[in-house]
């Protein structure tokens, strides 16, 4: 089962027939395993990873990484505030962290002002939020094991005399 999951994580477009051939299982067995993954919430979504720099007509979203210090709630710990935060449509990822802050949020907005408004009016005003630190993403080089930059470009410096 783990082998099928790893194949799908690497390439979700593999056909059931291809997976069956690669794992030496029957097509029906592979279908059953994939359905169980989906029913059990192990596989949550299939999606394409798109390089935004290669889609010229797409308006680039402004991404920010926000460090948040929060006061844990008495009976819910960090889960209650985390749920209130992940419900905002701007929130793309949310992590409980160790170290100098408690939560890390990755958000997207249409502009710097849009992100600033979200942080100032929505996020920082939530009960339990003690402080926020916002970092704007300037360029993505690699994300989710995908390298966005063209690795075939010769980056050597020319020699001049």
Q: For residue 106, name the pLDDT band (cuts at 50, 70, 90).
A: very high
Top-ranked range on mean pLDDT: pick from 38-42, 50-54, 73-77, 138-142: 38-42
Residue 154 has pLDDT above 70, yes or no: no
* Mean pLDDT computed over 132-150: 88
Residue 142 has pLDDT above 70, yes or no: yes
pLDDT of residue 49: 82
pLDDT for 15-26, tens place per residue? 999 999 999 999
Q: For residue 155, name the pLDDT band (cuts at 50, 70, 90).
A: low
pLDDT of residue 144: 81
Q: Is the dihedral of CA 124, 126, 131, 133 positive or negative?
A: negative
Question: pLDDT exceeding 70 applies to what percent of the chain?
Answer: 93
Class at the top of the CATH hierarchy for domain 54-140: alpha beta
């Amino acid at each position: 089962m783990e082998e099928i999951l790893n194949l799908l994580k690497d390439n979700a477009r593999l056909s059931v027939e291809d997976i069956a051939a690669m794992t030496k299982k029957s097509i029906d067995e592979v279908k059953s395993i994939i359905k169980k993954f989906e029913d059990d919430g192990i596989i949550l979504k299939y999606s394409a990873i798109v390089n935004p720099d290669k889609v010229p007509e797409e308006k680039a979203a402004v991404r920010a990484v926000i460090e948040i210090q929060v006061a844990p709630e008495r009976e819910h710990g960090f889960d209650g505030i985390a749920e209130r935060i992940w419900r905002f449509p701007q929130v793309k990822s949310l992590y409980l962290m160790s170290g100098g802050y408690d939560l890390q949020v990755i958000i997207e907005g249409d502009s710097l002002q849009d992100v600033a408004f979200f942080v100032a009016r929505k996020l920082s005003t939530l009960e339990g939020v003690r402080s926020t630190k916002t970092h704007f993403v300037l360029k993505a080089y690699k994300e989710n094991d995908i390298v966005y930059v063209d690795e075939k470009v010769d980056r050597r410096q020319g020699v001049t005399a």
